[in-house]
Structure 1
Amino acid sequence: MDRDLISHLAHADHPIAAPISEDNLERLLVRAQLPARARILDLGCGEAGWLNRALSLYPDATADGVDISDSGFARAEEEARRRGVSDRLRLHAVPAAGFAADEPYDLVLCVGATHAFGGLAPTLDAVRDHLRPSSGLALVGEGFWERPPSPALLARFGAEPDEYADLSGTAGRAESAGYATVHAHTSTMEEWDEYEWSWTGTLTRWALDHPGADGESALAAAREHRELWLDGYRGVLGFVTLLLRGA
């Protein structure tokens, strides 16, 4: 099965698509203290879980969601209608790195999608191009090493040791890119476990309900992901969501 479709199916019960609880997501959005008629952009929005919540919290804001795949857009639009914010949400099926807008944004998100730009530093450079000068905020979610990964785990990830830093180093990388950290949330083990059990369990349930080649492919993907998590990066890979302002 297509990787984007597998991800879409696996996130059906966890549309936030990151190891963050809904309560902590809303705390981050409230902490941003956006101005009246704020403009919000999510680069790699998936099912627009963050944007729909932001539009509910800021009733005069507007938002653009960008993703290379539109597989999650139907769910995003359904949720927007349920919340009564669909007239303020626009979705764009284009690569995040190629999106261009006529006006700057008060908040730009890129949570769990820094790979679209090649890592944290190039993501922050790209985000800056969309921010309102002097006052714009970035909300960027990135992995970090809770403890040094083993060579075997790096090989399974296809990663280099410096692909992520530790938590202090991750905050330092953001500040070296010209940002000041005004708040952050470090995901807990409970948030990680809820996210991963949801990802693997939701995909497994879909696979069992759809016998045949697609179901077998989805079940294999769920098992592979669960093994990599439980026997590999659980307790090794962390996740932090940084609320940043241009320094």
Structure 2
Amino acid sequence: MERQQTARIAHSHHPVTAPLSDGTVRRLLDLACTGRADGGWADGASADDGRVLEVCCGEAPWLLRALTAHPGLRAVGVDTDPERLNRAREAAELLGVARRIGLHHQDARDFRPPEPFQVVLGVGASGVFGGVLSLLAAVGDWLAPGGVAVVGAPFTGRGPDGLVEQVTAAGWVPVQGHISSQEELDAYAWARTGALAAWALDHDDAEVAALAAEQRTAWLADRGTDGFVTLVLRRR
């Protein structure tokens, strides 16, 4: 089975491709999309007229929630999976936000927008870019002055202190963040492995069944030692 189809199945029960609950996603989006304490960004835009980019957006769950909560926002999503982008378009039509979102079938690493964004979302995208610092280097080119980036990445060991130190050394300042709870980590792992296992049973697919078992075993073996941190960042 090709990688994109596997990803579609694995995230069919958890469209947000990170161990974050609905409440956490809502809180992080509100922090990012309302800008600074005065309700705007440094370039003068506000949640009534700002632009939001999500890279490696999949079915664009972050963007759809942002557009629904903030009627003045406009959004752009970039992903390499055409089927997930089609699902995002269908969802946007149902939510009545299709006119405010543009979805691009493209490798995010090659994305060159004509104008910057007040918010850039890249939660779960660090692997595509080869790490958080490489992702942030690209985000810096997309972000308007005073804009906000939201990125998330896994960590191992006791905490994300090493990752945060790397991010701050690169010139970024965390203004908020979230360390996923064990409940969120478990829910995400069960959703992914469970969706694959159920699909394998329904389609009598031994390859997918083996993949589900492999991922479940690896998760349970490392449970409690790995984590995930999401950072809301501004440039220094």
TM-score, with structure 2 as normaliser: 0.91
**Does 2:155 correspond to 1:144?**
yes
Tell me which residue corresponds to 1:200: 193
Tell me which residue corresponds to 2:28: 28
**Does 2:167 correspond to 1:174?**
yes
3-state SS in 2 of match to 1:71: helix
Tell me which residue corresponds to 2:233: 244
Distance 2:230 2:82 in 1: 24
Correspondence 1:109-124 to 2 at 5 A: 109-124=121-136
Deviations 1:53-95, CA, capped at 9 Å, x for gaps = 1111111111111112223112212222222211111111111
3-state SS in 2 of match to 1:201: helix
Tell me which residue corresponds to 2:56: 44
8 A contact 1:180–1:245 mirrored in 2: yes
Correspondence for 1:219 among 203, 209, 212:
209
3-state SS in 1 of match to 2:117: coil
Deviations 1:5-41, CA, capped at 9 Å, x for gaps = 1111110110011100011100001112141211011
Distance 1:225 1:80 in 2: 32
8 A contact 1:106–1:137 mirrored in 2: yes
Distance 1:59 1:146 in 2: 41
Distance 1:98 1:220 in 2: 34
Q: Which runs of 5 or more residues in structure 1 are unaligned?
A: 148-165
Paired residue type of 1:95 = D
Tell me which residue corresponds to 1:85: 97
How large is the RMSD of aligned CA atoms in angstroms?
Answer: 1.2
8 A contact 1:5–1:71 mirrored in 2: no
3-state SS in 2 of match to 1:171: helix
8 A contact 2:51–2:75 mirrored in 1: yes
Paired residue type of 2:156 = W
Distance 1:240 1:59 in 2: 28
Tell me which residue corresponds to 2:66: 54
Displacement, 1:174? 1.2
Distance 1:81 1:13 in 2: 21
Distance 1:93 1:74 in 2: 10
Q: Which runs of 5 or more residues in structure 2 are unaligned?
A: 36-45
Paired residue type of 2:229 = V
> How many residues of Structure 1 are paired with residues of Structure 2 in the alignment?
224
Paired residue type of 2:114 = D
3-state SS in 2 of match to 1:184: strand
Paired residue type of 2:77 = G
3-state SS in 1 of match to 2:83: coil
3-state SS in 2 of match to 1:106: strand
Distance 1:9 1:71 in 2: 12
Displacement, 1:50? 0.8
8 A contact 1:4–1:71 mirrored in 2: no
3-state SS in 2 of match to 1:17: coil
Tell me which residue corresponds to 1:11: 11
Q: Percent identity between the aligned chains?
A: 43
Distance 1:70 1:224 in 2: 27
8 A contact 2:79–2:85 mirrored in 1: no
